[in-house]
Homo-oligomer: A and B are copies of this chain.
């Protein structure tokens, strides 16, 4: 296996990009879908922001270093990765906060309708943000399993809110088809791209999507808790009202008016003062992903995950796959079900193979292709086979739950 892997690595057109990340020695990192690796250029860029822009130029940097324009500029750089126009995307706050803004905006655009439709088992924060508006009396949460979504799309639905690639299984929704179905029912659509943006080609405008949000710290390699992005289709921007109307979303923040007047563009989604350190780190990651190209990345991740499955099969590992069998219908990950998924995950981490566990019984491996090699696949499969065969996961140390799992 390892020889075949090395041959594949030698012929890999993206192999050079591994050197653009600081991948720690002795680690096979299959969790780039949870926290992307550190781009090698990030520390120097942050040093510059901290020492020069903050330390030396101080308050002047809002103008001279362009801090004030960073949310829109960085949104413009993310736009082509998700099939959007530059003026439709802004970087701001967290995915959760942006969900609240855009669910609210959708409800305001569909007066008389209160239902926000999603699926059970969607990433929790997506569902919780609907609940927040439900407790305010403004929304009604409806969860329908994915095979019943069409049926659930009735005349009460204001918004269909789905995560494009499921966080546990990686299963992809057909964005074009579901967007059409929602529109046919008179509803709007909000896509959460946290597990697809930067990992696979997304075509928001090609699908006529209305709204989207996405995460900066996974496939965009923006660092822990990096700011998130939000998309409004051009046709909706002027009518988008959102309740988190902070001063940075004002048409003229520095006029210090008593009355709120939203910025004409997507900047109306801004709320408080943006965190510049987070934005600066995210920009490095976005630039790098854009340089490599999302199509190239997705093609490689499919090859990596299929090769990993081959290696598992050849190692005699039989695990229940909960991700789709067809790589064209899943994101850049493979998830397996095992009653002892938590302990197995910990035993692998002890061997330097970092995947992750998702409650209650999912072992999840992400294939961030910008810095992974085929050799990593062969080695990870070997370790997994050994962990299962040896039963080393049964040790107490691997069964004690940590705060963050």
Contact = CB atoms under 8 A, between A and B. Distances in A.
A295 to B, nearest CB: 26
Nearest to A272: B94
B46 A59 contact: no
B38 A50 contact: yes
Interface stretch (A79-87, A184-192, A218-226, A311-319): A218-226
Contacts of A93: 93-94, 97, 272
A345 B403 CA distance: 50
B244 A97 contact: yes
Nearest to A356: B59
Contacts of A62: 224, 403-404
Nearest to A271: B96
B246 A403 contact: no
A402 to B, nearest CB: 5
Contacts of A131: 245, 259-260
Most chain B CB neighbours (cut-off 10 Å) among A223, A358, A359: A223
B256 A358 contact: yes
B24 A37 contact: no
B358 A245 contact: no
A274 B224 CA distance: 8
A132 B270 CA distance: 13
A307 interface: no
Interface in A139-192: 143
Contacts of A133: 243
A275 B278 contact: yes
Contact of A63 (B128, B253, B404): B404
A100 interface: yes
A210 interface: no
Contact of A34 (B59, B243, B258): B59
A72 to B, nearest CB: 12
B24 A38 contact: no
A349 B275 contact: no
A275 B275 contact: yes
B359 A254 contact: yes
Contacts of A225: 67, 272-279
A403 B276 CA distance: 17
B67 A224 contact: yes
Interface in A244-295: 244-248, 250, 253-260, 271-279, 281
Interface of A: 22, 24, 27, 29, 31, 34-35, 37-38, 42-43, 46-47, 50-51, 53-63, 67-69, 93-97, 100, 104, 120-121, 123-125, 127-129, 131-133, 135-138, 143, 217, 223-228, 241-248, 250, 253-260, 271-279, 281, 349, 354, 356, 358-359, 402-405
Nearest 4 pairs of A and B residues by beta carbon:
A94-B272, A96-B246, A96-B272, A132-B243
Given A62-B224, A125-B247, A225-B274, 15 more contacts: A24-B58, A31-B58, A34-B59, A35-B59, A37-B55, A38-B51, A43-B47, A46-B46, A53-B224, A59-B354, A93-B97, A97-B97, A127-B259, A135-B243, A135-B245
13 contacts: A27-B58, A29-B58, A54-B223, A61-B224, A62-B403, A63-B402, A68-B404, A96-B246, A96-B248, A96-B273, A124-B258, A225-B277, A225-B278
